[in-house]
Amino acid sequence: MAHRCAADRQLALAHSQRLAHITGVNWFFTALAAHARQSGDGTELREWLNETATAAWLLARVHVVTYLQDSMPRPDSLGIWAEHGQHATFMLEYDTGSEHLPQLTGKLPGYGRLAQAMAEAGHVCPLLLFCFATARREQVARRALAACYDAPALRIATSGLNPEQTSPARSVWLPLRRADGMIGQVALSALDAALPDPWHQYRAEQEQARQQAVQAQRGAIDPGDGIDQPDVLDDSDEFLPD
């Protein structure tokens, strides 16, 4: 009986954590939609995909590669936010504090492989946003994320948000690594500019290699191959009188 009660408590706890997680993700995007309605002037939430639709969106933009088959990351959601002539495409990891830090940082290798696969396909990997429930949790997690081997290959930003006080569209995002050397929090729409794509040079090299391969293939094909040439009569072959 005691064993059954313990199992019931664990099940209730898991259900409670899952519910808090779903509620948090929904709040995040609902807050963005509300911010867009209040702001107007081209401010809009252009896309809001759930976990399943996000996975399909990402797979449609990568080649079928072996190293992603069993390690495709599963972000909680994907969104496209536009404001003041800027836009940001992002994947969301909403953290309720229930995961241990090794579980959190253990997601980065999969995201790193995703970023490489998208670069190979000629696409820019979306921003990776970690939203934490408290500032303290954010601070601890940032140190752990920054120490990860795959962090430099990703455009990561974090925030500790209070849903009753702050909109995720505002200047509440702190990039993990900024190429411009600046510090401080930035707005969601400005993250794309604050976090340049670390795969830019790689994508350019891949595209150049593809173009060279096409040119080499064209050069290797003889335009006359497979084309029947008309017979040419030799003067000596003209009909002679009997």
Confidence (pLDDT) at 208? 85
Sequence-distant (6+) residues with CB within 8 A of 23 are: none
Please classify residue 129 by burial: count the beta carbons closer than 10 Å to its beta carbon, then call 0-12 exposed, 13-18 middle and 19+ buried: buried
SS3 label, residue 131: strand
Confidence (pLDDT) at 238? 43
Confidence (pLDDT) at 9? 52
Low-confidence ranges of the chain (pLDDT < 70): 1-17, 64-70, 163, 180-181, 221-242
Residue 163, both tokens: 């849903």
Confidence (pLDDT) at 203? 87
Alpha carbons 41 and 14: distance in angstroms, whole number: 42
Q: Are 133 and 24 in contact (CB under 8 A)?
A: yes
Alpha carbons 66 and 222: distance in angstroms, whole number: 35
Residue 2, both tokens: 């005691």
Confidence (pLDDT) at 236? 44
| Nearest residue to 87 via CA among 124, 122, 119, 50 | 124
Alpha carbons 175 and 158: distance in angstroms, whole number: 6
Confidence (pLDDT) at 37? 94
**HSE-up of 184 (CA within 13 Å, CB side)?**
7
Q: Which residues pair with 156 in a beta bridge?
A: 128
Confidence (pLDDT) at 211? 86
Count other Cβ atoms within 10 Å, centred on residue 200: 11
Confidence (pLDDT) at 210? 83
Confidence (pLDDT) at 232? 46
Q: What is the CA radius of gyration of the chain?
A: 27
Helices (H), the chain: 2-39, 51-59, 66-69, 101-105, 108-120, 135-146, 191-194, 200-220
